[in-house]
Amino acid sequence: MGVGGPRNAGLPSAVAASDDHRRESAGRQYVAIGLGEAHHMTVMGELGHIDAAGLLQLLGSRRATGYLWITADGEEVGVYLSRGALSRVTSTRLPLRLGRILLQRGILQTRQLHEVLRDQQGEFETRSLGELLLARGWITQEALASCVEQQSVAVLAKAIGARRGTFLYRPDEGPPTDVPSEVLNSNRILQGAIKRVREIQVLRAQLPDMTAPLAPSVQIDVTIQTLKPSEDTILKALDAGANSLGELLDIVPFDEPVLLQTVIDMRRRGLIIAGHGDKGGALGVGGEPPPGDEDLERLLSQNQ
């Protein structure tokens, strides 16, 4: 069914509508590596043989129920399926967590998020973030569902856009019991993820490598142009210790396409400069670990 179909509809139509050639080649590769009956057994392999969208298409067409774990280009993505439909999409990466999405959309303040996270680590550790927010009346069910869908699109886009990696599929494994099932519109999420991959690819092609150094330009002190709030946040992040596009993605609470477009505009205006690096370089940040939660808290506190 199309985007307007029921929420528990399978995934094949969304992928097929986006890329017929990938569907056909993925099917051939799937059979070639012995995954014809993958929905009945634990299977692992390399994404060089089949991409994430092809995996989801074939599992969806077989109405499979289970857990698909993908490690690709430094990203770790988990996908729970129920009878071929998405029931939960997860990521261990900070910018893709639900709390970050809530901050991006202005639904929560940093203080509220940290308060709920502390509760979750204490006596309410068995309850999900969404449950705790609903219980406090800080978010509506509709807003939560919308943020979960946005998070799912962003996480799936990471897996679909990966150039290399591995996957593991375990059948008949469902999500944790504290997470409601049958809440995701599979076709809409997958189509949104494919669209997001293409959008990010276009933006990345205009930027240097993810590890290339970024720094404020000396023109900032003398420019007569007024900074936009998003530009001011990026400059503060650079002053706080972020020194590459990859680190900005980790520390600045902007959706990736928004951040990439802002950096492109700032470079055009001469507000920031970049060191050497190939355009559209690989994902990941080398050297020191990227900024973490404490860096995000420090940056956000500067803007409040």
Do 263 and 286 reside in the same domain of the chain?
Answer: yes
Do 184 and 266 reside in the same domain of the chain?
Answer: no
**Tokens representing 274?**
């970049």
Q: Is 195 left (phi over 0), alpha (psi -120 to 50) or beta?
A: alpha
Residue 103: alpha-carbon gap to chain centroid = 15
User: 46: part of which helix (H) or strand (E)?
Assistant: strand 43-46
Give me the residues paired with residue 70 across strands: 77, 167
Q: Long-range contacts for 29-38 (Cβ within 8 Å, ≥24 apart)?
A: 29/54, 30/54, 30/55, 30/58, 38/62, 38/64, 38/169
User: Is 244 in contact with 210 (CB distance < 8 Å)?
Assistant: yes
Q: Which of 173, 202, 231 is the last residue of a domain?
A: 202
Tens of pLDDT along the chain (304 residues) come to 333 334 444 444 444 434 444 444 444 344 334 444 544 678 888 887 778 888 888 888 888 889 999 998 777 899 999 888 888 888 877 656 788 888 888 888 888 888 888 887 776 666 778 888 888 899 898 888 888 898 899 999 988 888 788 999 999 777 665 444 446 888 899 899 999 999 999 999 999 888 889 998 876 664 556 888 999 999 999 988 898 998 998 888 888 999 999 999 999 988 898 876 444 433 333 334 444 445 445 544 554 4
User: 253: part of which helix (H) or strand (E)?
Assistant: none
Do 129 and 256 reside in the same domain of the chain?
Answer: no
Q: DSSP E strands: which ranges in 47-199?
A: 66-72, 75-82, 85-91, 165-171
Task: Give a yes or no: residue 1 inside a domain.
Answer: no
Task: Give a yes or no: residue 2 inside a domain.
Answer: no
pLDDT of residue 87: 87
| Integer angstrom CA distances of residue 289 from 9, 25, 99, 247, 286 | 40, 37, 21, 9, 8
Task: Give a yes or no: residue 231 inside a domain.
Answer: yes
Write down the pTM of the prediction.
0.71
User: Is 174 in contact with 87 (CB distance < 8 Å)?
Assistant: yes
Q: Long-range contacts for 254-258 (Cβ within 8 Å, ≥24 apart)?
A: 254/104, 254/230, 255/104, 255/154, 256/95, 256/154, 256/200, 257/196, 257/199, 257/200, 257/203, 258/230
Q: What angle do CA 206, 212, 215 make, to 5 degrees?
A: 95
Do 22 and 55 reside in the same domain of the chain?
Answer: yes
Task: Give a yes or no: residue 136 inside a domain.
Answer: yes
Task: Give a yes or no: residue 4 inside a domain.
Answer: no
145-163 burial, b for 16+ CB within 10 Å, e for fewer? eebbbbbbbbbbbbbbbbe
- Determine the Cα–Cα distance for residues 35 and 15; give it in Å rounded to an integer: 19
Do 156 and 92 reside in the same domain of the chain?
Answer: yes
Do 97 and 117 reside in the same domain of the chain?
Answer: yes
Task: Give a yes or no: residue 93 inside a domain.
Answer: yes
Residue 217: alpha-carbon gap to chain centroid = 30
Where would I find the H helices in 161-292? 186-204, 229-240, 245-251, 256-268
pLDDT of residue 183: 60
Task: Give a yes or no: residue 46 inside a domain.
Answer: yes
Q: Which of 202, 233, 267 is the last residue of a domain?
A: 202
Q: Is 284 left (phi over 0), alpha (psi -120 to 50) or beta?
A: left
pLDDT of residue 234: 93
Do 168 and 234 reside in the same domain of the chain?
Answer: no
Do 157 and 229 reside in the same domain of the chain?
Answer: no
Do 42 and 171 reside in the same domain of the chain?
Answer: yes
**Tokens representing 52?**
């994430």
pLDDT of residue 231: 92
Within 10 A of 135 (CB to CB), how many other CB atoms are there?
13
Spatial neighbors of 48 by CB under 8 A, at least 6 apart, are 164
- Determine the Cα–Cα distance for residues 160 and 168; give it in Å rounded to an integer: 15
User: Is 220 in contact with 235 (CB distance < 8 Å)?
Assistant: yes
pLDDT of residue 224: 59
Using alpha carbons, select from 250, 253, 259 the residue that is nearest to residue 290.
250
Do 241 and 283 reside in the same domain of the chain?
Answer: yes
Number of domains in the chain: 2
Q: Which of 179, 202, 225 is the last residue of a domain?
A: 202
Task: Find the domain containing 98 and state its range.
Answer: 12-202
Do 79 and 226 reside in the same domain of the chain?
Answer: no
Do 158 and 251 reside in the same domain of the chain?
Answer: no
